[in-house]
Amino acid sequence: MGIQKITFDGSNVTSKVDADLYHYLFSKDVGILKGLKQECSFTLANNTITFLDGYVSIYGRIIFIENQTTVSITPDSSKYGYVVLAVDTINNTAQIYIKEAIGTYPTLAVTNLQTIDGVYELALCAYQKTTTSVSLIAEFERHMITSDKARVDELEEELRLNYYPFRVTLTKVSNGVYRFGDVDSVGLGQRIIYVVIENTTVVTFPGQLLFLIVGSSTSVGYRYAGADYSLGISYASGLVTLSCGNTTHRVTSAFIKK
């Protein structure tokens, strides 16, 4: 028992230690490293699947698939199959091969290589073959590992699209009456609506308020220039209509937020 120097000059570190650290740094994901090289993308021609270069991490074991790596499929029967990248920590090997089954996709070995030695098989692509042809399965989703920065960027974009207020385009129907559209009732019911009158008064209400009574309409009070008014709101056929309490009032902008 004691300590082991890892990132020190002259240290003798096993591949298992490196793999554990890489697996942790990759958020304990298994898959193809997204955004690095050509992500092991592939094509099919003449019953041969050709892979472009890319890196794969399987429990921190890093494998580089070289550009133009090919795997041949023989159309000799009706089967579903995977092109598999397998890591075998018992025999210290990594290899690519095909694995097939009749009527369904084959079962893959998914040993937890962080806790015990064994085999882990990662499907790089899926295909179906008959006695005359081979075709790729377009719906197959590869396991990809994204960088932490990419995940944060995706989360920020999701927050911006779903939770930040966004401005809607208003159309003037008549004096004091405005409309915006292209919103479904379910989405509207999950959002908060902000209506700005004359650039000074903000009227805020939940979209669900429109659907509490039959008719998909409601009203909300607002105060402008020292007087009280009522803003009428109605929904029909994807359109929200805003009717000010005075025809001289203008709806200068409107926003929606989830």
Which residues in the chain are classed under CATH 2.60.320? 164-257
Biggest CA–CA distance in the chain, Å, is: 84
Architecture of domain 164-257: Sandwich (2.60)
What is the spatial distance between Cα 59 and Cα 116, in angstroms, rounded to a whole number? 11
What pLDDT was estimated at residue 206? Answer: 94
| pLDDT tens digits for range 10-31 | 888 899 999 999 999 999 999 9
Summarize the confidence of residues 38-50 as an average pLDDT: 97
What pLDDT was estimated at residue 247? Answer: 96
Give the pLDDT band of residue 1 (cuts 50, 70, 90). Answer: low
Which residues in the chain are classed under CATH 2.60.520.10? 15-149
Top CATH class, 15-149: mainly beta
What pLDDT was estimated at residue 84? Answer: 98
pTM above 0.95, yes or no: no
Query: In the chain, pLDDT over 90 holds for what percent of residues?
Result: 79
CA distances from 122 to 30, 147, 161, 238 (A): 8, 19, 34, 46
